[in-house]
Structure 1
Amino acid sequence: MTGDIRTLLSRHLPGYRVRTVRRLGQGLDNLVYEVNDELLVRRNKAANPETLRQEVARLAAVRELSPLPVPEVVFSDEEWGAIAYRRLPGGPLSTNPVADPRSLARPLADFLSALHGTSPGRMHDLAPVDRYPAPRLLEDAELDYRDVEAHVPAGHRHLVERFLREDPPDEPRSLRFCHNDLGAEHLLVDAASSTITGVIDWTDAAIADPAHDFALIYRDLGPEVFELTLSHYEFDLDAAGRARVLFLARCALIEDLAYGLSTGPAHYADAALAHLTRTFG
């Protein structure tokens, strides 16, 4: 497979000297390779030219509006379902914890204000509309929980089970452009300076409920960082919005727990269990 990556690079970057190619990881849909410690090449397992064109255009638009660094596309290949970016500095926050997460709140607020303040019409052709209803999310969460219930400490199961018995929140009245998967694994940081060096993986970006972006901040960084981020956010989040944030954070934690205990990296499950009581308490 690394030979395929070399062939791809020779097609788009003739004369570029490839010294090293190593596979970084694999998701449900993609394989990711690092080249010369400076390029990342992602190949989709099922190439979709229209989706790839949309992603390239979306990243170009996001680079114009985001106050935080986002990937710069070097080339894309519709036939191979591949896209190459320049590697951003830093490492994922999920595996590179910072000394003071509160220092991330202001840049996250500025970032979300820029994203959510963008006219949905401007992004209409660059991102799909995501209206997955809350009752369906709650059903999905219950199915996931039943698969992993035995891995949840017995003394904490009542917290999750109480949540699963509650009514889902009302749907949002308006949708905005969102990253839509703003977990710690997609925030690059310099751990030594507690700074954000980039926001990656825009494949799930959508016109959606802004609560989705805040929910993963709540799940991964905790209520204090969530509240501090919200204090710098340019827009209002009313009581109904807060209820959706908490609901989505809890659904996302259950999803990560199930993913980490099945096909995903184990650190997803470890983080989910570590954050369970503060997310469901």
Structure 2
Amino acid sequence: MPLSAVEVAVRALGVHAPHLRQEDVTLLGSGVDNTAFRCGDVVVRVASGRSTRQEAQLLAVLGSRVSIPVPAPLFTDEGLGVLAYPLLPGRALLGRTPPAGAARQLGAFLTELHSVDASMLASLVEEEPADPREWLEDLTGPEQLLARVRASVPAPGDRHVLAHADLGAEHLLEDGGALTGVLDWSDAAITDPAVDFARLYRDFGPRFLREVLDAYGLQPPDAAAMARIEFFARCAALEDLAFARASGRREYAAAVGTSTGWLFPGARLD
């Protein structure tokens, strides 16, 4: 019988951090690909079908190159699919208002991230074409929203950078009025930078996005890039809605309900 996620976490701790065996292992959160547990001041993240070794190597490269902290790996177990790192301070921003200055922080962070020489990381992350037509595959949701997405498919972009590729509110930590961490780099890819802006737009709205873009020191998005940002944001919202309905995670459904106002003006969630 396969081990449960918590059993995997406990087994990994027993092998790699036996000094923590007396600490309680408690659930921090779960998503489509990962389940995270806390043991003392250590986070143990159990992944499904992802290379934790490659992610740890990526994090080791990024730690000194970006201005918002990322997890600093303590150990990985490729066989168990486990990545462990010291707990970062703060709470996730899902369902919360970002602090003042967060948009500028993220604009600077994305300038740094997107400036990393992607060629030196080709062995650690995949290249994703981010073809908008492919994002329509298996996309589900209310028909009126799907119809809008299908009617607004932009052309693919031609600029690719190292991107987080899942830069949503659930992966951003805040403490004391500042962003204190960017979590879960398992989807990182060399891809269209619009993918990183899209989830910020989805979760925090058009004004926040404008502030991020104002602080972004690389190529300002043109009309075509803005069309891709909106398209990817709409797709990501529908993906979150499907996840919320499948998992019962009401906080995701509530967040999508809020973002519908700017992503699908005049529409209502059924």
TM-score by length of 2: 0.89
Question: Which runs of no fewer than 5 residues in structure 1 stay unpaired?
Answer: 150-156
1:103 is matched with 101
Residues 55-85 of structure 1: CA distance to partner in whole angstroms, max 9, x if unpaired?
Answer: 1111101112111000011111123221111
Distance 2:7 2:261 in 1: 46
Q: How does 1:43-122 map to 2 (within 5 A)?
A: 43-46=46-49, 51-98=51-98, 100=99, 102-122=100-120
Residues 102-123 of structure 1: CA distance to partner in whole angstroms, max 9, x if unpaired?
Answer: 5211110110000111122122
- Selected match of 2:169 from 184, 193, 203: 184
Q: Does 1:229 align with 2:229?
A: no
The percent identity for this pair of structures is 37
Q: Please tell me the residue identity of whatever aligns with 1:217.
A: L
TM-score by length of 1: 0.85
Distance 2:36 2:250 in 1: 18
Q: Does 1:163 align with 2:148?
A: yes
- Selected match of 2:17 from 7, 13, 16: 13
Q: Give 1:44 deviation, angstroms.
A: 2.8
2:43 is matched with 40
SS across alignment from 2:126: coil
2:242 is matched with 258
What is the RMSD computed on CA atoms of the aligned residues? 2.0
Residues 177-210 of structure 1: CA distance to partner in whole angstroms, max 9, x if unpaired?
Answer: 00000000000012xx431010000000000100
Distance 2:60 2:72 in 1: 8
2:135 is matched with 137
- Selected match of 1:194 from 177, 184, 193: 177
Q: Give 1:251 deviation, angstroms.
A: 1.0
Change beyond 3 A, Cα 1:251–1:20: same
Q: Does 1:25 align with 2:8?
A: no
Q: Please tell me the residue identity of whatever aligns with 1:273.
A: G
Off by >6 Å, runs of 4+ in structure 1:
none
Change beyond 3 A, Cα 1:267–1:75: same
Q: Please tell me the residue identity of whatever aligns with 1:275.
A: S
Distance 1:111 1:65 in 2: 9
CA contact (8 A) 1:169 1:243 kept: yes
Stretch deviating more after TM superposition (253-262 or 20-29):
20-29
Distance 1:42 1:12 in 2: 14
